Amino acid sequence: MSSLVTEMAKYRYLKNAPIVEALIDIRAKNPSSFQVKEFSSLRETLKADYPTVDERRSLEWKGTIAGKQIAQTIEDKGLYGYFFKTSDGKSVVQFRGDGFTFSRLAPYTNWDTVLSEARRLWELYSSKALPEVITRIAIRYINKLDLPLPIHDFSDYLTAPPRIPDSLPQEVSQFLTRVVIHESDITANIIQALERSPTPEHVAIILDIDVFKLRETGFNENSVWSELVQLRILKNRIFFESITEEAARLYE
C-alpha cells in the first residue's frame, strides 16, 4: 500500500450517488404526561403515504449467574414507538418517546425532498408530543462504494485509507476505522469499513457520516431546519474530502 497523499474529489452533484440510507434525526424531551400510544392516532393521517405500521416495544435482557447456571429474563419495558413505512419500504418515519427519525433508503431522491418530508412529518410528531425541548439534531448518510476488483491500493479510492506497515503482508480482507471530529459546536462521526459485495468481482467500502449538534438548553424549533442545512454542508465536505476523483467518477 502506498503512503502517498491522494487528491480528494471535487465537490459536485453525483447523479448516481452511492447513498444507501439518509436519515434526519431529532431528539426531544417530551412532557412526563405524554404517552407514546398517542402516536397511534396518526395511522389514519398517514395511511395514504405510509400504509405499513410497526409497533415497537422496548425489551431489557437480564442475566444472573447461580453456580454454573445462567438465568435469563427479558423484561418488557413498554411501548417504544411506531414505525411508519411507505408501500415500497423506501421511506420510514419513527415516532418515539425520545424523538423522531425520518429515513430514506436507496434509491435516494434529493436533499430538498428529504428535508421537506422530514419537516412535514416532524410537525405531526410535535403536534402530538408537544416536546418541551429539542436536545439533539442530526443527519446521517450511509454510503456504499461498490468498487471493482482487484484493488492494489485503497488510496486509489480513499484519501485516508488504512495504513499497513510496509514490512507486513498487504492483502486485506476487512478493515474498520472510526474518527470523531469537531467544528465549532458540530460533531461528526466518520466510519470507513470494508465489506463483501454481492457482486463477486467487486468489494464494498462503507462510508458512514453522522453529523450532529447537542444543546442542553435546547434548539429553537423554527431554527432546527436551517441548522440541519449547516450539518449537511459539513457532511458533504467530509464525503468529498474522504474519496478520490477516481471514486467519484464511478457515480457521475
* Mean pLDDT value across residues 45-74: 81
Of 130, 160, 190, which one is at a domain's C-terminal end? 130
Q: Are residues 193 and 250 in the same domain?
A: yes
Rounded CA separation 77/70 (Å): 22
Based on the fold, state whether residues 59 and 159 are members of the same structural domain.
no
Spatial distance between the Cα atoms of 81 and 98, rounded to a whole number of angstroms:
9
Q: Is residue 135 included in any domain, yes or no? A: no
**Nearest to 193, CA basis, from 229, 164, 154:** 154
The residue whose grid cell reads 460533531 is 187
16 and 35 inside one domain = no
Residues 97-120: tens digit of each pLDDT:
999 999 999 999 999 999 999 999
12 and 106 share a domain?
no
Query: What pLDDT was estimated at residue 3?
Result: 44
Q: Does residue 25 fall inside a structural domain?
A: no
What is the per-residue pLDDT for 76?
64
pLDDT at 115: 98
**Which of 107, 130, 153 is the C-terminal boundary of a domain?**
130
What residues make up the domain containing 93? 31-130
67, pLDDT greater than 90: no
Is the pLDDT score of 70 beyond 80? Answer: no
Asked if 58 contacts 16 with a C-beta cutoff of 8 angstroms, the reply is: no
φ/ψ of residue 58, rounded to 5:
-95, 125
Q: Are residues 197 and 241 in the same domain?
A: yes
CB 90 within 8 A of CB 102: no
Q: Mark whether 114 and 147 lie in a shared domain.
A: no
- pLDDT beyond 50 at 1: no
Cis peptide bond prior to 165, omega within 30° of 0: no
Are 177 and 211 in the same domain? yes
**pLDDT band at residue 152 using 50, 70 and 90 as cut-offs:** confident
Asked whether residue 71 is domain-assigned, the answer is yes
Angle at 95 between CA 94 and CA 100, to 5 degrees: 75
Q: What is the C-alpha separation between 236 and 171, in angstroms, rounded?
A: 31
155, 225: one domain: yes
Domain boundary among 95, 130, 165: 130
CA distances from 106 to 16, 21, 92, 155, 189 (A): 10, 6, 12, 26, 21
Is residue 217 domain-resident? yes
In a domain, 5, yes or no: yes
Looking at the fold, whether 92 and 197 belong to one and the same domain comes out as: no
Eight-state DSSP code of residue 93: E
Q: What is the pLDDT of residues 230-245, one digit of tens each?
A: 999 999 999 999 999 9
Domain assignment present for residue 136? The answer is no
Number of domains in the chain: 2
Same-domain check for residues 120 and 157 = no
pLDDT greater than 70 at residue 36:
yes
C-alpha cell at 209: 457520516
pLDDT digits (tens, 9 = 90+) for 182-235: 999 999 999 999 998 888 899 999 999 999 999 989 999 999 999 999 999 999
Asked if residue 137 belongs to a domain, the reply is: no
pLDDT score of 72: 75
Q: In terms of domains, do 179 and 250 share one?
A: yes
Examine residue 81 and state whether it is found in any structural domain, yes or no.
Answer: yes
Give me the chain's average pLDDT, please. Answer: 92
| Distance in angstroms (rounded) separating the CA atoms of residues 54 and 107 | 22
Calculate the alpha carbon distances from 163 to 3, 157, 169, 234, 235 in Å: 7, 14, 12, 25, 24
Locus of grid cell 428535508? 115
